[in-house]
Structure 1
Amino acid sequence: MGEIWIKEAERLGGGSIGGAMDTPSAPPRVVWHTTESGTGDTSFKGVADYLIRIGAEPHILYDPTTDRLAQYGPLNQSARALKNDGLTRTNRTGAVCIQIEVLGRAANPFTSTWQPGPNFRALMRAIRSWGVPDAWPGGALAERYNDPNVSRSRTTWATKGGHYGHSQIPGNDHWDPGAINKNAIFAAAPVTPPPADSGSTSGSASTYTVKAGDTLSGIGAKTGVKWETIASLNGIKSPYVILVGQVLKLKDSTSTAPAKPAAKPVVSVAHLNVARAKDVPAPTGHTTYPAEVKIVEDALVKEGHLDKGYADGSWGTLTDAAYNAFRRKMGYTGSAATGSVGLESLKKLAARHGFVAVA
C-alpha cells in the first residue's frame, strides 16, 4: 500500500470525499485537471471552497506558481472530479485513481510557466508509492475543446495504469489540462539515477533496461537480484518506481557498494512567511506548510528557544517568539530581530541544524 495522506499537504474539508474502489485489482492511475481559474492564494482558497460546495472534490489541489499543495481525501479511496461513463464509475476505476486539480487554464498549459518545488516532488512521491508508472497510456492530450486527435478509449482506461488528462477519460467531455508537457511532469520530480560503476568486482552483475511500469522490485524478480540490494545501490526508497529508459547495473547481495548520503531537507523562506501570516491569526493548531515549519521548530527546540511540545508544524505565536529569540542570539537587533523570516537568519539556523534554506 502507498501513501494515503501526504504529510506535506494542507488538509481541506472533512477528510472523506468518496469510498472504496470498484476495481482494486486494476492498475493504478492519476488524472490531471485544471481549475480554469487564476493562481495564487486568493484563487486557491476560492477554488478550494467552491469544489467542496458543489461536491466535486479531487484528492489534490495544487498551485503550480507557488508550489502550494492541499489534500481533500485519502488517496486509497475515490474522489469526485470525474463524470461516470454510463454504469462505469470512473472515479472508482483502478487500485487508486488519484485526481489532481491544478490551478490554471487548459488554454495556457501550466508546465510552461510553473515553479514546481518540494511539495510537487512530495506529490509525485506519493503517486509513485502506489506503483503508478511514469507513463501516459492515453496518447495525445487535447489542444482544444472537442480535439479530434484525443482518444477516450474505454479499453485503455480499464486496463492501463499511468497518468491521464481529464480529456482522455471516457464519459467526460472536458479538455483540461490542455497540452501540458507530459515529460515535464516526471522531469520536475526525478528519481535518483543509478550510481556510476565504481569498478568493484564484488558480487555478480547484470544490466536491465527499464520499461514502462517497471519497479525495482519487479526488476529484482526478473534478474534474481534482491530488491533491497537494488534499492541500496540506487539510493531509491519504497516503492522503488524508476524512470522509463534508465539502464541499471545491478549487483547481488554480496556487493558492498557504499550508501549515498541522505539529501538535506529544504525550507523556503517564502513558505515560512506564508505560514506565519496564516497560522498566527488562525485557531490554534492551524498549519500551512507543516513539514517545513516543523523542521524550523525542531531546530528552535534544539536551540533552547521552544518547548518540544509546541513543535507541531503550526507557526503560532510561540514559534514566532522562539524565532525572534534565535535572531537576537545571532546578534540581530531592533526591527531585524522581529517580523518576517529573513533568508540570512534562516541560513544561519540551517547551517547549525542540517537543512537547506532557500528563498
Structure 2
Amino acid sequence: MADLWMPEAEHYDLGDPAPTDSKFPPKAIAHITWDKNASEAKPQAHVSFGRLLAYFTGAGRASAPHILWDPFTGQLAQFYPANSRSKSVADKAGGTRTNRAGKVVLQIEAVFFPHTIYDGKAYAQLIDTPCKGWAELHRWVKSHGVPDVWPMGRPTSFTSHRSEETWAKKGGWYAHAHVPENDHTDPGSWPAFKRTVTPAKPKPKPKPTPAAPPFPGRHFFVLGAKNVHALKLQKWLHAGKWGPAYTVGPSDVMTQKDIQKVAALQAHYLRELGPADGLCGPLTWKYAYEVATGVRRR
C-alpha cells in the first residue's frame, strides 16, 4: 500500500483534510512558487525553502499544496496526506472539481521562480536546476497510481491551455497552466520522469562440473576383485551401455564381461584411453564416470 505521507519529506499536518473524488482518475499538479518577478537582465536571489515552509504553515496555509519541494537542496515538506485534497488551485463552488478531481490530486510546489540566483548562478527554468529530490518525489507520486503522462502536454513555456473534458477523463500530470478554473501559467518546465529500470535477472551460474571420485587403484579392477569400487565402475559402464549387456549385475566382483565393457569404453576413446586392454586406470575411471553422469558426451 502506498504511503499517505511521503517518507522522505518533513511532515507538517495542517489538519482540515477532505476526501478526494475517486470517480476521477489519479492526478498530480505541477507548480512553482514564483515568489519574485525576475528577468534575464535582472535575476534575483533565491527565496529559501525555510521561508516558504513558514509561509505555508502560517499565513499561506489556505493555499498550501501537498508537497513543497526545493530542487536545489532536495528538501521536501508535506502538509496534507495523499488521500486528502490540498489547496493550491482555485476550485469554484459548483464548477469543475479541481482540488478533489481524482483518486488522488497530488499538488507539488517547487521552490522556484524564473531567473532565480542560487549559489551565485542564475537559473532561467526549473529544469536547469539540479532537481535534487525529484527521483524520490516522482517515485512517491507514481506509487499512488498517477501515470507518467502529461494529458495536456509536458510544460515547456509559460502559456496556458485548458480542457475540462481532458481534465475530467484523463489521469496523469498536469501543469497549473492546464487546470480548469485557474489563470496561472506555471510551472513553465518540469523534470522528465525517471524511468524505473528493472534490473536484469542475473544469469544462473553454471553448475560446477561434478568431478569423478578419486581413483582408488588399479588392483581393485583386476579379474576376480571383489570391492565397492568394482561395483561403482560396473554401474557406470552399465549406464554408458559399453560392451556386452549384463544378464546379472552389476555386482561387486570384476568378471570377464566387466573387462570386455572396460575395453569397449577404451576402444571408443582409443586416442585418449588406448590400448583397449580392459585394464582400468585413472583416466578410464574418469571417462566411465563422466559418460555415465552426462558430463561427457559419447
CA distances 1:297-341 after superposition (whole Å, capped 9, x unpaired)? xxxxxxxxxxxxxxxxxxxxxxxxxxxxxxxxxxxxxxxxxxxxx
Q: The residue matched to 1:61 in structure 2 has which SS?
A: strand
Q: Using the TM superposition, give the Cα deviation of residue 51 of structure 1 relative to its aligned residue in structure 2, in angstroms.
A: 2.6
Q: Which has the higher contact order (CA 8 A, sep 6+)?
A: 2
Aligned alpha-carbon RMSD (Å):
2.6
Q: Using the TM superposition, give the Cα deviation of residue 11 of structure 1 relative to its aligned residue in structure 2, in angstroms.
A: 1.6
Q: What is the letter of the counterpart of residue 62 of structure 1? A: W
**Separation in 2, partners of 1:33, 1:19:** 21
Q: Normalising to structure 1: TM-score of the pair? A: 0.47
**Separation in 1, partners of 2:146, 2:45:** 29
2:40 is matched with: none
**Separation in 2, partners of 1:121, 1:142:** 20
CA distances 1:34-68 after superposition (whole Å, capped 9, x unpaired)? 00137999621221222331310100000000011
| 1:109 and 2:125 aligned | yes
1:10 is matched with: 10
Question: Are the equivalent residues in 2 in contact too, given 1:40–1:63 (CA < 8 A)?
Answer: no
Q: Using the TM superposition, give the Cα deviation of residue 106 of structure 1 relative to its aligned residue in structure 2, in angstroms.
A: 4.9
Q: What is the letter of the counterpart of residue 7 of structure 2? A: K
Using a 3 Å threshold, how does the CA distance of structure 1 residues 169 and 42 change in structure 2: closer, same or farther?
A: closer
Q: What is the letter of the counterpart of residue 90 of structure 2? A: K
Q: Normalising to structure 2: TM-score of the pair? A: 0.57
How do residues 192-207 of structure 1 correspond to structure 2 at under 5 angstroms? Answer: 192-195=197-200, 198=203
Q: The residue matched to 1:18 in structure 2 has which SS?
A: coil
1:137 is matched with: 151
Question: Are the equivalent residues in 2 in contact too, given 1:136–1:163 (CA < 8 A)?
Answer: yes
CA distances 1:57-95 after superposition (whole Å, capped 9, x unpaired)? 100000000011111110111000000155233101100
Q: Using the TM superposition, give the Cα deviation of residue 131 of structure 1 relative to its aligned residue in structure 2, in angstroms.
A: 1.1
Question: Are the equivalent residues in 2 in contact too, given 1:82–1:91 (CA < 8 A)?
Answer: yes
How do residues 256-275 of structure 1 correspond to structure 2 at under 5 angstroms? Answer: none
Q: What is the letter of the counterpart of residue 158 of structure 1? A: A
**Separation in 2, partners of 1:17, 1:59:** 13
Question: Are the equivalent residues in 1 in contact too, given 2:68–2:76 (CA < 8 A)?
Answer: yes
**Separation in 2, partners of 1:9, 1:140:** 25
2:95 is matched with: 87
1:76 is matched with: 83
2:180 is matched with: 170
Question: Are the equivalent residues in 2 in contact too, given 1:142–1:176 (CA < 8 A)?
Answer: no
Q: Which runs of 5+ in 2 are unaligned?
A: 37-43, 116-123, 206-298
Q: The residue matched to 2:135 in structure 1 has which SS?
A: helix
CA distances 1:177-208 after superposition (whole Å, capped 9, x unpaired)? 11x15xx3313xx31235279599xxxxxxxx
How do residues 270-285 of structure 1 correspond to structure 2 at under 5 angstroms? Answer: none
Q: What is the letter of the counterpart of residue 145 of structure 2? A: G
Structure number with the higher helix fraction is 1
**Separation in 2, partners of 1:58, 1:80:** 6
Q: What is the letter of the counterpart of residue 125 of structure 1? A: R
How do residues 337-356 of structure 1 correspond to structure 2 at under 5 angstroms? Answer: none
| 1:59 and 2:66 aligned | yes
Question: Are the equivalent residues in 2 in contact too, given 1:93–1:158 (CA < 8 A)?
Answer: yes
Aligned counterpart in structure 1 of residue 105 of structure 2, from 73, 84, 97 = 97
Q: The residue matched to 1:77 in structure 2 has which SS?
A: coil
2:162 is matched with: 152
**Separation in 2, partners of 1:106, 1:41:** 10
Question: Are the equivalent residues in 2 in contact too, given 1:18–1:80 (CA < 8 A)?
Answer: no
Q: The residue matched to 2:107 in structure 1 has which SS?
A: strand
Q: Using the TM superposition, give the Cα deviation of residue 123 of structure 1 relative to its aligned residue in structure 2, in angstroms.
A: 1.7
Q: What is the letter of the counterpart of residue 173 of structure 2? A: H
**Separation in 2, partners of 1:195, 1:40:** 45
Q: The residue matched to 2:148 in structure 1 has which SS?
A: coil
1:312 is matched with: none
**Separation in 2, partners of 1:77, 1:169:** 18
2:215 is matched with: none
Q: Percent identity?
A: 35
| 1:50 and 2:55 aligned | yes
1:121 is matched with: 135
Q: Using the TM superposition, give the Cα deviation of residue 122 of structure 1 relative to its aligned residue in structure 2, in angstroms.
A: 2.3
